[in-house]
Chains A and B, each alone.
Chain A
Amino acid sequence: QSALTQPASVSGSPGQSITISCTGTSSDVGGYNYVSWYQQHPGKAPKLMIYEVSNRPSGVSNRFSGSKSGNTASLTISGLQTEDEADYYCISYTSTYTRVFGGGTKLTVL
């Protein structure tokens, strides 16, 4: 159960778009449409932003979108806002019925 691979950090200016990747294997990301993304601000609990690759929960801004190609899932945030600055984590269902997180990506809004 190796962690999914995410970039340690990404940055962007207000109004720009950024994409965070999440790379796994055919036994997790590539094999199932059960990838979720979470936003975590310092000292807070994680918040679900995207589930089942590309679905947004009620109340989450449509500036957040998800996709998947092969073994890599992606989270795109458009129209960056200062409040988007946070850590972002992906997670995938696996072939052994477990789950595995990515290492997390720190988003800085310059």
Chain B
Amino acid sequence: QLQLVESGGGVVQPGRSLRLSCVASGFSFGSYLMHWVRQAPGKGLEWVAVISYDGNSKYYADSMKGRFTISRDNSKNTLYLQVDSLSPEDTAIYYCARRGSMDVWGNGTTVTVSS
């Protein structure tokens, strides 16, 4: 079945970096555009970034530019999100989602930024 599984979250100190992963199964990962979306505790959904099926095009929310890097390895069916200079405001559940319409979502990985 179609599945996305995020990992890489945890408790991290402010100023550190983290790389999140999203492993896809049940479909041809390399054929689809992919998104990252986050949700801070008790808050709404916030779009983070999108990457084209081949990785050649990447776009970020204005507030994410500079510290966030989206990438993918189609040979490993894996999507990545590198987050640098983490701050407490980055505390959130991070979801990956498939295609423009976000028709398939993972269950998310939780990132907590705290000293």
Contacts and interface: CB of A to CB of B under 8 A. Distances in A.
Contacts of B44: 3, 87, 89, 101-104
Interface in A70-109: 87, 89, 91, 93, 96-104
Contacts of A99: 35, 47, 50
**Most chain B Cβ neighbours within 10 Å, of A38, A93, A99:** A99
A47 interface: yes
A45 interface: yes
Given A89-B45, A98-B47, A99-B47, A36 B102 contact: yes
Interface residues of A, number: 26
Interface residues of B, number: 23
A48 B98 CA distance: 11
B110 to A, nearest CB: 12
B47 to A, nearest CB: 4
Contacts of A103: 44
Contact of B102 (A48, A97, A98, A104): A48
Interface of B: 35, 37, 44-47, 50, 57, 59-63, 95, 97, 100-103, 105-108
10 contacts: A1-B63, A3-B44, A34-B100, A46-B97, A46-B102, A48-B101, A48-B102, A52-B101, A97-B50, A98-B47
